Structure 1
Amino acid sequence: MAGYRRVVVLGGSFTGMLTSAMLARHFDEVFVVERDEHPTGPEMRKGVPQARHCHILWSGGARIADSYLPGMTEGLLAAGAHRIGIPDGLISFTPFGWQHRFPESEFTLASSRALLDWVMREKALRNDRISVLPRTEVLGLTGGTDRITGVRTRNRDSGEERRLEAELVIDATGRGSAMRRWLEELGVPAPQEESVDTGMVYATRIFRAPEAAGSGFPLVSVLADSRRPVPGRGAVLMPIEGGRWIVTLSGTRGGEPPADAEGFLTYAREGVRHPLIGNLITGLEPLTAVQRSHSTVSRRLHYDRLAVWPEGLVVIGDATAAFNPVYGHGLSAAARSVEAFEKQIRSRGLAAGLGRSAQRAIARAADDAWMMATSNDASYPDCRVASTDPRLTDPAAHRRDSDMMSNLATRNREVSRAALALMTLSTSIAEIQNPWLFAALRRGPEVPLLTEPPLRPAEFACLRTSAAAPTTA
């Protein structure tokens, strides 16, 4: 793309850095405008408060991230992250019973969010086309309704203001994006918004894993059941680097997990549908206090539907489609959006209409994750839905097929393979609808219903050890 010089990416978190790595293939200069100072190691930073909670990078997103940042997975594993095969390395109590641990068909990369961001950032910034402007806030856009020509910025330390011109501006600032306001200042109308608000609250605590856990402990989940007329309560335990377990409890409106240590343990043992995770952490050494978050609303801003869209502007990631974090889809959905964006660059270059076509492609890339999260969430009591989509306004009438598939996935290997490919965003809803899946659905269950958690001997030893130890919380 000779002659294409500069793009500006707003936000230097996961989506911003992955977008920058992609854009560095096509442009001479990529400037990342970051409000905070990036830490020099795998440390939490103020601009990502949700990083304290469990984050899952599913295989669909991991493969895409590796394609733009070669060696990212190896870097994560070398730093202590875990590669967990799914469903072989998954112990999951679903609304339809325990998931059989069939041979691996997908995987997840399990680490703290701080480690993931650090490894990604280190890989991306080895490219000398990418530069970060730290402690710099965006004041607004430059240009007009026809074309965005750059951004106005201010250094948070010196107060110096400047105009940063660019052929493309990409907003990857996440849930806190000010794009609607910036566009309204230029005369662009507000986009249509959809939201699904379960009132879910997250509570997270990190524990020192028992020595018996070793390096191969599975991902453990006790899922809520949205078909029941009660608040949804769930729990996830994930091994992360440093011989630690991160445990996140979640509860919808009326079933929120508490913020105190004793209440956290009681909720894990008695508040969710099975006490497995509570029993696993009983007696373990806590390494953090209980930390809570309320930022769980699924929200979608349809910039793709606006009749007026300026050239030179793209909104991506949580800034346009943010999901309830309990499903772990945010990172992988963002990666799919970056891939969809690049396809538009490859086919159109900077020709007229790139911004609009990219915005529509990004919206399509988020469709599956949006529907999986919101169609389930809309069924919870007291869920607040702002949408005209009948799948959300009357979810029970549209769940028969997905419930049948989810039920059979626990006991049929091929159905499990298809369901997990979809859950990990390794494929699309359209792509899994093929003859072999329909044949597997007709065959029905292939193995018996599990009545107990499918723990292996070494895993059961962890349960006995932790449950027998004195409580230290």
Structure 2
Amino acid sequence: MSEVPRRGPARVVIVGGSMAGVLAAAAVKDHAGAVEIVEAHELPEGPEPRTGVPQAVHIHMLQTGGAEAIETLLPGTVDLLLAAGAHRIPVTSHMVICSPEGWYRRWRRSTHYVISASRDLTDSVVRQQVLKDPRVRVRPHTRVVGLLGDRGAVTGVRVRAADGTEEDLRADLVVDASGRSSRTPVWLAGLGVTGLRHDEIDSGLVYASRVYRAPVPSRDWPMVGVQADPRLPGPVSAGGILPIEGDRWHVSLMGGPGGQPTRDADAFEPFARTLRHPLLADLIARAEPVTGVSVTHSTANRRHYYERLRHWPGGLVVLGDAVATFNPVYAQGISVAAQGALALRDILAGGFSAGAARAAQRAIARPVDWAWALATGQDIHFHTTTGRSPNLADRLLHRYVGRLSRTATGSFHAATALTDVLALQASPATLVKPGALLSALLGPLRRPLDGPTFTRAERVLLRRAGVIR
């Protein structure tokens, strides 16, 4: 006898007020009578730092796939972000990027975009959109200490308040969005659900970031980046500059073991000058720093394969960093969480059946698969990476993608194939389709560029600011 999906008001408990948690609330609120976010700290009311988000001090952007997922969940959010000072940066016409294969061209026709802002601003705009719904409430200063239910179904959570008192919160659906510190693997084992596979691939990259007052107007300013090249001897290094609200530049520098950046403010610009090209150092030399240097050592790719478990309890879904975290250099985390939340919403349109949770977990895994392939497919080729080494197939694929990337420096078709994948709007498998294979075979259709590709107007601004002569 087939199961009848649950209809009518349902209660949802979300573990964590992270971006993934807030997006989960956006995904379920139209299918539930009440949504409660259980958060260990206080959620700020405006664009202020949220406790427990160390990565917020580093550059963030929404890929096209993530921005469109958020816009679908919360119509009008992108316009609100732009009105608050965020930047919509067309790809590739507003990108000055030095790849391992050379400088990318700024094609006149843009195929994608990224939304660039401080993490605090992005979080705030999305959070305000969700929390204005009366069906969604937050229980702050409260920790989830366990799952209720059994191997067959999760029926709620046990919570502990700041004063130490505990109580049970019953729910038709529990969504774990508690981030990389998630306790779900332990809780599942306690319910008798075992066999969970876990991967960790760590390149050893360290991030150092600070914010500058831009020496030029930041509106319509391109994103700038110098990417790491794993083929070079010595420690890998990379860096990027994103324009953010308030005519500021957010700058992040990255270095591998043996050449990692530090919190020393006096060493920030000199470290930027050690990258494969001195462009970032030249730009920030004329910019005014408005923060100190923040450093993060935790940049490993980590993943739990919940979707592969032979048994999955009804009433439980895991989302965002609680499923997988990625090296921040690839700017995927928020976008993958948004796409996962959208997948959850679509599954719940069919009702709160026990099978819905398993279907949602498998749907959430699809954008994770894409991002994981991108991030780990690059990181395994750094000689300092632990957790996995490239095999012959990995090396052959890396050589092919490198050739396609070199082709993209002089071919719009190849550049579009790559940006489709980087924007999380196409599977990495599309890179080996006939069209992409033919582009890689033909190679670049234009000669390589010998330096950064600033427009005439941008060069005028840089000259006035004393950045270039």
Band of TM-score, shorter chain: over 0.9
Separation (CA, whole Å) in 2 of partners of 1:53 and 1:154: 32
Q: What is the Cα deviation at residue 160 of structure 1? A: 3.1
Q: Name the residue aligned to 2:330.
A: 327
1:235 aligns with 2:234: no
Contact 2:145-2:159 at 8 Å conserved across structures: yes
Contact 2:373-2:428 at 8 Å conserved across structures: no
Q: Name the residue aligned to 2:224.
A: 220
Evaluate the alpha carbon distance shift between residue 55 and residue 214 of structure 1 in structure 2; reply closer, same or farther with a 3 A threshold.
closer
How many pairs were matched up?
462
Q: 1:244 aligns with which of 243, 248, 252?
A: 248
Contact 1:213-1:459 at 8 Å conserved across structures: no
Contact 1:207-1:288 at 8 Å conserved across structures: yes
1:309 aligns with 2:308: no
Encode CA deviations 1:205-235: one digit per residue, 9 max, x unaligned. Answer: 100011x334111000000012334322001
Q: Name the residue aligned to 1:416.
A: 415
Evaluate the alpha carbon distance shift between residue 294 and residue 68 of structure 1 in structure 2; reply closer, same or farther with a 3 A threshold.
same
1:21 aligns with 2:26: yes
Contact 1:296-1:323 at 8 Å conserved across structures: yes
SS at structure 2 position matched to 1:399: helix
Q: Name the residue aligned to 1:359.
A: 361
Q: What is the Cα deviation at residue 363 of structure 1? A: 1.7
Contact 1:281-1:467 at 8 Å conserved across structures: no
Task: Note the residue ranges of structure 1 that are not aligned, 5 or more in a row.
Answer: none
Q: Which amino acid in the other structure matches residue 385 of structure 2?
A: C
Separation (CA, whole Å) in 1 of partners of 2:427 and 2:435: 16
Encode CA deviations 1:299-318: one digit per residue, 9 max, x unaligned. Answer: 11111222232111111111
Q: Name the residue aligned to 2:371.
A: 369
Q: Name the residue aligned to 2:61.
A: 56
1:300 aligns with 2:299: no
Q: Which amino acid in the other structure matches residue 295 of structure 1?
A: S
Q: 1:264 aligns with which of 246, 261, 268?
A: 268
Q: 1:111 aligns with which of 107, 117, 130?
A: 117
Q: Name the residue aligned to 1:70.
A: 75
Evaluate the alpha carbon distance shift between residue 249 and residue 401 of structure 1 in structure 2; reply closer, same or farther with a 3 A threshold.
same
Encode CA deviations 1:267-304: one digit per residue, 9 max, x unaligned. Answer: 111x2110101100003211000110011000111112
SS at structure 1 position matched to 2:137: strand
Contact 2:92-2:110 at 8 Å conserved across structures: yes
Separation (CA, whole Å) in 1 of partners of 2:195 and 2:257: 29
Separation (CA, whole Å) in 2 of partners of 1:468 and 1:425: 34
Evaluate the alpha carbon distance shift between residue 136 and residue 265 of structure 1 in structure 2; reply closer, same or farther with a 3 A threshold.
same
Evaluate the alpha carbon distance shift between residue 338 and residue 371 of structure 1 in structure 2; reply closer, same or farther with a 3 A threshold.
same
Q: Name the residue aligned to 2:202.
A: 197
Evaluate the alpha carbon distance shift between residue 393 and residue 36 of structure 1 in structure 2; reply closer, same or farther with a 3 A threshold.
farther
Evaluate the alpha carbon distance shift between residue 284 and residue 367 of structure 1 in structure 2; reply closer, same or farther with a 3 A threshold.
same
Contact 2:96-2:224 at 8 Å conserved across structures: yes
Separation (CA, whole Å) in 1 of partners of 2:326 and 2:127: 23
Q: What is the Cα deviation at residue 85 of structure 1? A: 0.4
Percent identity between the two aligned chains: 41
Q: Name the residue aligned to 1:400.
A: 399
Q: Which amino acid in the other structure matches residue 94 of structure 1?
A: S
Separation (CA, whole Å) in 1 of partners of 2:71 and 2:149: 35
Q: Which amino acid in the other structure matches residue 232 of structure 1?
A: V
Q: Name the residue aligned to 2:443.
A: 444
Contact 1:30-1:129 at 8 Å conserved across structures: yes
Q: What is the Cα deviation at residue 391 of structure 1? A: 5.5
Q: Name the residue aligned to 1:155.
A: 161
Comparing 459-468 and 424-433, the one that deviates more? 459-468
Q: What is the Cα deviation at residue 25 of structure 1? A: 2.0
Evaluate the alpha carbon distance shift between residue 437 and residue 155 of structure 1 in structure 2; reply closer, same or farther with a 3 A threshold.
same
Task: Note the residue ranges of structure 2 that are not aligned, 5 or more in a row.
Answer: 1-5
1:142 aligns with 2:148: yes
Q: 1:282 aligns with which of 277, 281, 285?
A: 285
Contact 2:431-2:437 at 8 Å conserved across structures: no
Q: Name the residue aligned to 2:103.
A: 98
Contact 2:182-2:322 at 8 Å conserved across structures: yes
Separation (CA, whole Å) in 1 of partners of 2:136 and 2:251: 35
Separation (CA, whole Å) in 2 of partners of 1:56 and 1:332: 9
SS at structure 2 position matched to 1:7: strand
Separation (CA, whole Å) in 1 of partners of 2:324 and 2:82: 29
